[in-house]
Amino acid sequence: MSNIGPSYLNDLNDVQRSAVVTINGPVMVIAGPGSGKTRVLTFRIAHMINSGVHPGQILALTFTNKAAKEMKHRIESVAGTKANQVWAGTFHSLFARILRVEAHKIGFPNDFTIYDTDDTKGVIADIIKSMNLDAKVYAPNQVRARISAAKSNLITPKAYKNNDDLMAMDRMNRRPMIYDIYEKYVTKCQRSGAMDFDDLLLMMYKLLYQNPEGVREKYQRQFKYVMVDEFQDTNYLQYEVVKLFVKYHGSEENVCIVGDDAQSIYSFRGATIQNILQYEHDFPNVHTFKLEQNYRSTNFIVNAANEVITYNKNQITKKIFTTREEGKKIKIIQAMTDNEEGKRVADSIIEQKNRYNLSNKDIAILYRTNGQSRVFEEQLRRLNIAYRIYGGLSFYSRKEIKDVLAYIRLVVNDKDDEALKRVINYPKRGIGNTTIDQLSKLAEDNEMSIWQVISSMDFSPRVKKSLEEFVGIIRACKQKAMVSNAFDAAVYIAKASGIYSELRADTTVEGQSRYDNLTSLLDGIKEFVEDDELIEGESIDDNKSLSVFLQTISLMTDADNENPETNDTITLMSVHSAKGLEFKSVFVVGLEENLFPSYQTLSTPDQIEEERRLFYVAITRAEEILTLTYANSRYQYGNMRFNDPSRFLEEINEENIDSMTIVKRPSNEDDFGQVKILGGLKPKVLQPMIPKIDPNDFVSNDPDEIKVGNKVLHLKFGEGKVTAIDERQVATIYFDQLGENQEKRIMLQYSKLQILE
């Protein structure tokens, strides 16, 4: 031991060191945020090697190739080149490696094909077609997700058929034939000698389970030490495979799992927190180590994280702490609207950069759904602040957004060939690439636009029918746009084109995200139309058409504004994407009921607890500065919605908060109706809150009826008094409930004011 002490053991705190040197028997390392999890994991493997364990007897399972590569690199820095012999990699990559040797024992060739997601969807689409099923009802991506979920829970086609709940759910969703598709899909993969990603796990389980005396014991003897990183992210099937590797009679169960139940946030991918919660029950002799010292965040942030997570009942009790300085208290920003929220975040970023000498790369904006990025992108562009979308595309670069905008561009300008080519066969209407190429050539030869070619030339009956359908859609949209504002026209286009129904029908997680992005775009157009407030010095432009909207966003989608050479950018990302990262300053935005926590998670205690864990992950990304923001109102699905501040805000004690502009939820009940004593925030002196106005009860008057001296009601600003109206029909209105900036100049044409007296 003396030859290794100085190299790494002395760099560990007491609990970390104990976890590293305990290499025999079952071990559980609960690693709080910023507690040095990766260091413990890699040093533990290095310690095994330096203590005489052969590296080829160590199986280390991760969730990303990047994590496995980093792990090997760190082990090598401590234990030398022997680290390369450790079986370290993702579940899928290592299981595929074993199956390449053993697959023939479960009826597959050893050189089996691995289907990616597109391959899987293609096979499923062929099966759906062969069964004469409606591809809109049995959307291949949704069926694939259903089959994937079944495999992840060890449900075979036979077990699926015998599961009354699954079959009843399929009947309720008008898809009673999913079982048959599943069965045919499994048969086709077997016949084709192919496995999909889920099969790499399922067939590994099948291999070990069905061959206990041969294959299972062989690998149990080979892998005397099994380690699993990010154990809270494992699904039921992954844990069952792990148990088969370590349940070897006559030897110790040398299995170590590393994770944090408080950061279990991927149930939508099949992960289950129950794996880590029941680990001590499955391995009663487990040695448990809790890494509770946080090296990342300042005291106020750590305290807030502890306070929030205590509201969860299903958890392994721990209390993270830090020896760092107290730092800056948490700031909470209340905004009237989501657009104002974007402005205030952008302005705060400028202030933080100047006051604390921060670079752009030190700052992140975290949101619950990707569609929220739009308002922040727009405001950052307004201030010429460089940013990047992490783990995804800029809002206006996402496929579904570009598709809808292409339709809008074509409606505004039918000579836009690029827009036409993008959407002429989306959603699919039987116009293939060959036809599109022919149209392009005809247009070039005749010096015409493709639209003119379609409108003036004859084609074969089949192609002609499809083209006439497309032309009819565009002409109807043009007619609607001529008599409607941008929002009404855009909604019509989204529905008439078929994009709206196609995205709405996709109930997978990815599909829901695409649909949310579409509605966010429509909400932005709605805000564009209803933005009746004038800024002093601005020119008046009362044109709310699609053409003006396209002109407005053109600056936001101009790639010339991007600078690929700089890495100094603000990071925008969903909280799910932020796990494992850290920034000096973090803005967690959109903290409202029905948004964060999401309205989709309010039905069960388990879902609420996962949302709280997601919030816990969000706030523990911050090293020094944490800002939490919310809006009283925002457009959602085309309507102005008024939401309460998130319940998570009131779970933070006020001594950790610098500025307080929220009102506690009036209810004295907990998440599910149980009376509780609120021990969280006590509001300080607040800005006046505008009473919520039910849009269904709001009746606006004709703009011509508005006169100086009228007392009026505005959906956004509340009650006010008209003090002046100029010759351009711009009203000056004093809203006494606004606190600061009480006087607004509003165009009456778009004002939507209700006369009170």
Q: Which of 38, 274, 607, 729 is catalytic?
A: 38
What CA–CA distance (Å, rounded) separates 574 from 155?
A: 31
Residue 621 annotated in active site: yes
Residue 342 near residue 378, CB atoms below 8 Å: yes
Residue type (1 letter), 656 = N
Residue 152 near residue 270, CB atoms below 8 Å: yes
Residue 210 annotated in active site: no
Nearest Cα neighbor of 243 from 263, 262, 228 is: 228
Residue 368 annotated in active site: no
Residue type (1 letter), 740 = E
What CA–CA distance (Å, rounded) separates 370 from 235?
A: 25
Residue 475 annotated in active site: no
What CA–CA distance (Å, rounded) separates 389 from 570?
A: 9
Query: Helix, strand or coil for residue 511?
Result: helix
End-to-end CA distance of the chain: 87
303 phi and psi, to 5 degrees?
A: -60, -45
Strands 622-636 and 583-588 turn out to be parallel
672 phi and psi, to 5 degrees?
A: -130, 40
Q: Which of 238, 263, 435, 754 is catalytic?
A: 263
What CA–CA distance (Å, rounded) separates 16 from 567?
A: 34
Distances (CA, A) of 200 to 96, 152, 544: 6, 11, 54
Cβ burial, residue 451 (10 Å; 0-12/13-18/19+): buried
Nearest Cα neighbor of 117 from 198, 205, 177 is: 198
Residue 230 annotated in active site: yes
Residue 70 annotated in active site: no
Residue 295 near residue 34, CB atoms below 8 Å: yes
Residue 692 near residue 679, CB atoms below 8 Å: no
Q: Which of 196, 229, 341, 610 is catalytic?
A: 229
Sign, Cα dihedral of 701, 705, 706, 711: negative
Q: Please identify every residue annotated as catalytic.
A: 37-38, 229-230, 263, 621
